[in-house]
Amino acid sequence: MGAASGLLGQYRAATDEAFFASPTRTLLTSGAHARVPQDARPLAQRVAHTLAEAEANAEARADAKTEAGTRSADSRRPLVVGAVAFDHDRRAELVVPALVRTAGALRDDPLIALPAPPADRVDWQLRPVPAPEAYGAGVAAAVERLRGGELSKVVLARTLELTADRPLDLPAVLQRLARRDPGGYTFAVPAGPGRTLIGASPELLLSRRGTAVLANPLAGSVPRSDDLGEDVRRAAALLESPKDLHEHAVVVDAIRTALAPHCRTLDVPERPTLVRTAAMWHLATTISGELADPAVTALDLATALHPTPAVCGTPTDLARRVIGEVEPFDRGLYTGMVGWQDAAGDGEWVVTIRCAEAEQRTLRVYAGAGVVDRSRPEAELAETSAKFRTFLDAAGVPR
């Protein structure tokens, strides 16, 4: 009891320190034995090569000191941990850590119910990029292209750039994110020199354990309400919304198409269910399958899926081009994937949403919305505003 929340409490936002919590496990890593190189090879190949080298060297370090409840990354099954950019061919911040400490799931730890430390009173300066009216105009222009049949869906994002009057307390922010939604995916990983990617994603891109694979795409969302009756009404309406059901079906079909060639069996439910976070209701489908070839790794599958229509659109290449034309910023690690994979090919990769990149006194918070031909600019603006609140509340930014 308390092992998972203990790892959460030990996170200090130090250089080369990473935290990742999922509904199956909690990881806290530190140091770096090796870094996945940035070169022209496919990402999954680079990761596999880095892990193979680490595994080959494990015997020579078999007598490395271990602590109770921990294991050294020098063990027979090293892993990589970190984040991959929206354009996974351009950037990946992945390392083989020197030390890996593990525990069970945060949601199963009774101590996670204890309150998180309250946010300090901070004087924040805030700048939206783009401005709300410009974002709405971008959505309206995209809808016209969608109605013309040029594409089926595009996901358009916006950011908030926040500057604090003091250094950020990232461990406290991580505590508040994790304790607010302990059943989700909470992470804080290095994002380059002096920067940290931190957030709490509700969406599993792909997990692999042996030959069992699982994906849990989310698409179609509505903000929660503090009023119980209204909250239930919104959830029920989401389940019957033609616009949101269409948006969700596009994502599920794309994932089915990408996974089917790799799976002996694949179970795709006919209708979505609801997933809730503290801020949002989402349509969700749990897709499960069994690999035909056990040599296919979690990252092989994740890169085959990524980017899904849930974060990009469809057709993918055209949606990417529209994103590049409309969004006045580089997404970087946002809407990429964050997680881990071991030398056996098992791993968990989640969609990098409900997140921010942090550096000293600054935060860049991201949120996006799926745009289809029935979308309305004011609705997508409201949806992104609600999605911002997951991180803004944890950071202590007043409403």
Active site residues: 153, 203
Give phi and psi for 255, each to the nearest 5.
Answer: -70, -40
CB 81 within 8 A of CB 138: no
Which residues touch 8 (CB under 8 Å, ≥6 apart)?
19, 21, 26, 28, 106, 112, 174, 175, 178
- Please give the structure tokens belonging to residue 350: 């989640």
Q: What angle do CA 236, 242, 243 make, to 5 degrees?
A: 105
Strand order across the beta sheet in which 287-291 lies: 34-35, 92-96, 79-84, 337-342, 347-351, 204-209, 212-216, 287-291, 263-267
**Widest pairwise Cα distance in the chain:** 65
| CA–CA dist 201, 196 (Å, integer) | 15
Assigned token pair, 28: 């806290």
Measured from the Cβ of residue 213, the count of other Cβ atoms closer than 10 Å reads: 21
3-state DSSP assignment of residue 187: strand
Q: Which residues pair with 158 in a beta bridge?
A: 367
Quote the tokens at residue 313.
């659109």
Q: CB 24: neighbour CB atoms within 10 A? A: 13
Question: What does DSSP assign to residue 120?
Answer: P
Cα separation, 309 vs 249, whole angstroms = 10
From the CA atom positions of the chain, what is the Rg in Å?
Answer: 20
Are 150 and 142 in contact by the 8 Å Cβ rule? The answer is no
DSSP H stretches of helix in 225-353: 228-240, 242-259, 298-305, 316-326
In 3-state terms the chain splits into helix, strand, coil percentages (rounded to 5) of 35, 30, 35
CA–CA dist 265, 259 (Å, integer): 10
Beta carbons of 3 and 71 less than 8 angstroms apart = no
